[in-house]
Chain A
């Protein structure tokens, strides 16, 4: 009766009061008679035996077939072949541009940016380190095929197949040359990102590349607001500084650059003999043209040797320093792991430091799981992250040393040529090069403007 009185205070009218209080009463009865015993014993309220009604069985829809994936791989091979053909044989910027539009539509907007070769790196890393993870064949194909094509033809994948490259290719309108030192130092981030992505995916902690994919939100026409903003900023920067994601972030691009460095064929800027006019350096928005480098004078050579000697001496120090820094990264790195996050939250709550509980901590406490066991597993995990931090630090040290050494080596050559590491074979320079197929410069022809400013930049 007391319960009824206390409830009646909330009821606005006589009629609804009776009904609502009836409802509350029934809730109470239900809770007392049914929930408690059934919860305690784990028994269910029995399903009634109906006289005529047949109790149905749950139906779940079948999964989609693998047809899409095979179609994707087939289209990838087709696109890679076409891109290589357009870049190396027909040398047609127009065709490359059309192909990259098609790739953006299919691999980007239709297939919503998944599966992509950049992300496939993580699946491969996970598959290498975790025998329990089964990597789909299509993902292996997406990882290996562009690498194979790059080994033969250079980074034609970047030119016209990768949807992330394509979306940046289209916005690269006003070409601002970035200072070489900025280009070199920001370019190191691709390698560091690669190391971090491999370490986190190999341990099954996180797929960083997918999580921080700046353009997938555009492909899916909606997504994580922060990443959409980041993607928008990158596109905005990309208007002036060509392909910022490809050059300064893309971890797959880092791998491709090594393969492209040793590629069998690679795009040539002039069809025949370079006349050293230098127009191509102004045309390239990606800083991927190497200007001629003269042979060193004896004085320069000895200074260069001394500098290289110092760099080689410093290399072990750099690696050791970064390894040490990596060892200190145990706690921040381990915070990527959901178990570690949960353990920290539980700790804070029990010490009264946390203002609110999280869904995870509430669920943990409601399930009455063993807190001690969680802490123990988290401590083992953090130990593992110490070693991962050491590895990541050593990797960063190696990457930086490698860069310094490669900058310290002089490679004399006479012509303007594509820097095979960074050139994405987009073909913009073909339009600017005054050398024609015939082998002579053709200034009289009206179709080829002499000044870069006279050219329409996009196509």
Chain B
């Protein structure tokens, strides 16, 4: 009691300091509780489904070439993919040959692909028709989508996909932002690829044939693809 009377300054300031301390301690506890609640809520949200990754819906993609330039990586994470079961194995491939081609050959000036990433390989001669297989050299592909646009004139078996060994899964995908058809969607990260709906029908009929085989490539692909 004698301490309190000692000076008027301490008598006034002590209760204020106590009140301040009480308020700030209360706010601190409230803040901790709020953080805990938020964390719990978000963790609950996480429990409902898995994480997601970016992917191109090939049915919406128009091959505008933004994928090759807008990706934050120096070399885009987007690459072309060949769906062999949709391919016509054409001799005159609109995805392989430039519209002004001089000759049906592998000469660079005849190729649509700027990096010669579409590899043409003779398969068979049937009834005077020559069939070729077109494979994508993934290391050379820059994801410009020129072949995709060309192939869309025919079967559309070539399509673009975000390759998940390369994609850094940006919060706001820089390509998704500029995609003219909003073809970029988030897909579950355990099945981070998409195929065309036509391809899906083809594979679904095919998957029954070789069921039971462990390393069936179709089943292997289907494990990676989110079905629509």
Residues of A that sit less than 8 Å from B by CB: 16, 19-20, 23, 26-27, 30-31, 34-35, 38, 42, 44-48, 50-53, 55-64, 66, 112, 114-115, 119, 122-124, 127-128, 131, 133-137, 140, 144, 147-148, 151, 206-207, 210-211, 220, 222-224, 258-259, 262-264, 338-339, 358-360, 362-364, 366-367
Contacts and interface: CB of A to CB of B under 8 A. Distances in A.
Interface residues of B, number: 78
Contacts of A51: 124
Contact of A45 (B74, B90, B123, B168): B90
A136 B87 CA distance: 38
8 contacts: A35-B154, A56-B135, A63-B165, A112-B72, A124-B42, A134-B49, A134-B51, A222-B74
A66 B51 CA distance: 10
Nearest to A216: B72
Contact of A114 (B88, B170, B198): B170
A30 B86 CA distance: 17
A68 to B, nearest CB: 10
B217 A134 contact: no
Contacts of B181: 360, 363-364, 367
Contact of B52 (A42, A60, A134): A134
A19 B99 CA distance: 13
A343 B165 CA distance: 36
B102 interface: yes
A45 B180 CA distance: 28
A45 B90 CA distance: 9
B81 A47 contact: no
A207 B35 contact: no
Contact of B172 (A47, A151, A206): A206
A14 to B, nearest CB: 13
A115 B172 CA distance: 11
Contact of A262 (B31, B46, B103, B165): B31
Contact of A64 (B90, B126, B165, B224): B165
Nearest to B94: A30
A134 B46 contact: yes
Contacts of A26: 92
Contact of B28 (A30, A140, A264, A339): A264
A366 B100 CA distance: 23
Contacts of B90: 45
Contacts of A122: 171
Contact of A140 (B39, B52, B83, B131): B39
Given A47-B85, A360-B180, A363-B181, A135 B42 contact: yes
A363 B145 CA distance: 14
A339 B131 CA distance: 43
B164 A359 contact: no
B153 A19 contact: no
Given A38-B155, A362-B180, 6 more contacts: A53-B133, A63-B53, A63-B165, A64-B164, A140-B42, A210-B171
A146 to B, nearest CB: 11
Nearest to A208: B172
Contacts of B221: 57-60
B88 A58 contact: no
Interface string B138-179: 000000000000000111010001011111101110100100
B48 interface: yes
A223 B72 contact: yes
Closest 7 CB pairs of A and B: A45-B88, A63-B164, A359-B180, A207-B172, A360-B180, A57-B217, A61-B165
A198 B180 CA distance: 25
B28 A262 contact: yes
B39 A123 contact: no
Given A50-B124, A57-B218, A35 B153 contact: yes
Contact of A137 (B32, B43, B48): B43
Given A61-B163, A262-B27, A34 B45 contact: no
Contact of A57 (B42, B45, B53, B84): B84
Nearest to A150: B31
Contacts of B94: 30
A360 B52 CA distance: 25
Nearest to A339: B182
A358 B180 contact: yes
Nearest to A359: B180
A47 B135 CA distance: 15
Contacts of B35: 144, 147-148, 151
B119 interface: no
B219 to A, nearest CB: 9
Nearest to A258: B31
A258 B45 CA distance: 26
Contacts of B115: none
Contact of B38 (A59, A124, A264, A339): A124
B164 to A, nearest CB: 4
Contacts of A114: 168, 170-171
Contacts of B102: 16, 19-20, 23
A128 B27 CA distance: 23
Contacts of B101: 20, 23
B54 to A, nearest CB: 11
Contact of A38 (B28, B154, B174): B154
A59 B217 contact: yes
Interface string B60-89: 001010100000101000000111111111
Contacts of A211: 172, 177
B32 A151 contact: yes
Contacts of B124: 48, 50-53
A393 B218 CA distance: 54
A58 B83 CA distance: 6
